[in-house]
Amino acid sequence: MAGAPKLTTGTKFIFGLGDWGTSAAATARNIFWFIFLTNVVGLDAGLAGFVVLIGRVWDSINDPLVGSFSDRMRSRWGRRRPFLLFGSIPFALSFFLMFYVPPWQSDAALIVYYSVAFLLFDTLYTIVNVPYLAMVPELTTEYDERSSLTGWRIAFSILAALITAGAFKLLAENVFAVWLGGGPAAIRQGYMLSAGLWSLTIAIPYLLVFRFVREPDVEPVSSPIRPLQNFREVYANRPFLLAALIYLLCFTTGDIILVVLVRYLIDYIRVTPGFDSVVLVMVLGMALLSTPFVVRLMQRTDKRTAYLITIGFMTGVLIVATFVPPGAQNAILIGAGLAGIGYAAMSVIPWAIVGDVIEADELKTGERREGLYSGFLVLLRKWASAFAIFAVGRLLSETGFISSTTGSLFIEQPESALNAMRFLVSIIPAVALGISLVLAWRFPIDRERYEEIRRQLDERRQQSTSVV
């Protein structure tokens, strides 16, 4: 791996495209599934949050195991690509099951069904996503090249999120449901059709990565899997611990905002019908346009400095959002555009930072364990996201949030629920990002330190080769 050859644009393009499936699926899940459960299926908000908690906590044990298995995989296709080949189509099918409404009246039966569907989806998500993410630090060890590869991946991720946020619910409620005659039953069928359409696009990108992206020749990890020892080793890596906390604060912040954003826009701001989709498109469209700027800023300075600049800006935008009154559609649209810049940074920089801890671990252990670290990172995110969404559901339930089966129609919510939604999209995320800024300031691997680690690794490899 010495020498770190440049990746071709075609390789970056195909590899980046691989994030389309999980991004589209995760966007639909993060933005619309809670709404689907509370305002289409008709579950209480607290019960909907409980469904997510059950699936995420039970399934999270799979993440480090899948990552560790991929580190040790020996096949003619490499360590990671077999997971993409055999997991992609089942993953797409599991997404469809998330938005199917079984003909049951019992809340208990529905909770069991959606818990199992979520568990199946999240398990298959892990099987394709963790090995895919482990390929990022594996494909290149060059500091800026890794930033560029991450930028390509996140650009496609944001593009998939943009299309999903703008079209998934719109097609389900305003196209398919209308075509089917309208009413609660038609809305349910509309979501099923929309999920079926999205499922067709979820598997293909991973199959393209399997076909066209070749992994470098890396010796699989030979040591046995020891979950408790691996856990201690991973979290003894201080750079990883800081990077993981930065990553968690960013992505959990995004999860919290997305869970309530649509209802906040409809019930608190009282936007005109369809304007909530415009806001989502504005955020993600600006994020897509801002991604090259974020990558360039990382290359001109370093990842830590770029994070401090962009996330500091995003924190300010969120604080100002607290004061936006009902009816202020234009202010919301302007704020959405500014937030899109911060969203791009929240999506790109934490992943680029995490990738740099792999070499620090290799210097200490002599093994490249991208899969293990990716697995533990996804595990942490699932735990944090599950408890955050559970807490959001409980908070909304306790403040009197009203569920329904009428989709995105305006609901006269109690003042307590409206205030809860307002703080969930502004103050609470601002505090979380503020904490992440402190952690980023303390992150020890800047450009110079990373290059020093690479130099030591190259010297070790040369000595090993000369001995052989």
Give the class (CATH, top level) of 11-215+236-459.
mainly alpha
Closest CA to 251 of 137, 364, 369, 389: 389
Residue 59: band (very low, low, confident or very high) from pLDDT cuts 50, 70, 90: low
Per-residue pLDDT at 90: 96
- List, for residues 229-279, the tens digit of each pLDDT value: 777 877 788 888 898 899 889 988 888 888 888 889 999 999 998 888 899
Q: What is the mean pLDDT of residues 380-390?
A: 78
d(CA 442, CA 242): 8
d(CA 151, CA 158): 10
First vs last C-alpha separation in the chain: 17
Mean pLDDT of the chain: 87
CB 223 within 8 A of CB 367: yes
d(CA 391, CA 405): 22
- List, for residues 444-454, the tens digit of each pLDDT value: 888 888 889 88
Per-residue pLDDT at 286: 93
Residue 409: band (very low, low, confident or very high) from pLDDT cuts 50, 70, 90: confident
Q: How far is CA 171 from the centre of its chain?
A: 23
Per-residue pLDDT at 81: 92
- Pick 2 or 337 by higher pLDDT: 337
| pTM for this model (two decimals) | 0.71
Give percent of the chain with pLDDT exceeding 70: 96
Statement: residue 49 has pLDDT above 60: yes
Per-residue pLDDT at 2: 44
Q: What is each CA distance from 264 to 117, 142, 216, 332, 423, in whole angstroms?
A: 27, 43, 47, 11, 10
- Pick 55 or 348 by higher pLDDT: 348
∠ CA(335), CA(37), CA(252), 5° rounding? 45
Per-residue pLDDT at 133: 87
Backbone angles phi, psi at 325, to 5 degrees: -90, 165
Per-residue pLDDT at 56: 62
Q: At what angle do helices 107-139 and 9-17 cross, to 10 degrees?
A: 170
d(CA 267, CA 257): 15
- List, for residues 296-311, the tens digit of each pLDDT value: 999 898 899 999 999 9
Statement: residue 467 has pLDDT above 60: no
Per-residue pLDDT at 61: 65
Q: What is the mean pLDDT of residues 277-286?
A: 89
Among 176-180, 379-383, 386-390, the minimum mean pLDDT is found in 379-383
Closest CA to 20 of 182, 187, 209: 209
Beta-carbon count within 10 A of 74 CB: 9
Statement: residue 3 has pLDDT above 60: no
CB 146 within 8 A of CB 137: yes
CB 2 within 8 A of CB 359: no
Per-residue pLDDT at 361: 84
Per-residue pLDDT at 1: 44
For the chain, the three-class secondary structure string (H helix, E strand, C coil) is CCCCCCCCHHHHHHHHHCHHHHHHHHHHHHHHHHHHHHHHHCCCHHHHHHHHHHHHHHHCCHHHHHHHHHHHCCCCCCCCHHHHHHHHHHHHHHHHHHCCCCCCCCHHHHHHHHHHHHHHHHHHHHHHHHHHHHHHHHHCCCHHHHHHHHHHHHHHHHHHHHHHHHHHHHHHHHHHHHHCCCCHHHHHHHHHHHHHHHHHHHCHHHHHHHHHCCCCCCCCCCCCCCHHHHHHHHHHCHHHHHHHHHHHHHHHHHHHHHHHHHHHHHHHHCCCCCHHHHHHHHHHHHHHHHHHHHHHHHHHCCHHHHHHHHHHHHHHHHHHHCCCCCCCHHHHHHHHHHHHHHHHHHHHHHHHHHHCHHHHHHHHHCCCCHHHHHHHHHHHHHHHHHHHHHHHHHHHHHCCCCCCCCCCCCCCCCHHHHHHHHHHCCHHHHHHHHHHHHHHHHCCCCHHHHHHHHHHHHHHHHHHHHHC
Question: Domain-by-domain residue ranges, the chain?
Answer: 11-215+236-459
Statement: residue 92 has pLDDT above 80: yes
Statement: residue 199 has pLDDT above 60: yes
**CB-based burial label for 212 (10 Å; 0-12, 13-18, 19+):** middle
CA atoms in the 13 A half-sphere facing the CB of 202: 30
- List, for residues 329-360, the tens digit of each pLDDT value: 999 999 999 999 998 999 889 888 887 888 88
Mark 385-405 as b/e (b = at least 16 C-beta within 10 Å): bbbbbbebbebbbebebbbeb
Per-residue pLDDT at 137: 82
Q: How far is CA 341 from the centre of its chain?
A: 17
d(CA 234, CA 361): 8
Q: What is the mean pLDDT of residues 372-387?
A: 76
CB 111 within 8 A of CB 211: no
Q: What is each CA distance from 76 to 85, 95, 134, 238, in whole angstroms?
A: 13, 29, 18, 35
Q: What is the mean pLDDT of residues 83-108?
A: 93
Q: How far is CA 135 from the centre of its chain?
A: 16
Residue 7: band (very low, low, confident or very high) from pLDDT cuts 50, 70, 90: confident
- List, for residues 112-149, the tens digit of each pLDDT value: 899 889 889 988 998 998 899 888 888 887 878 888 88
- Pick 387 or 308 by higher pLDDT: 308
Per-residue pLDDT at 177: 94
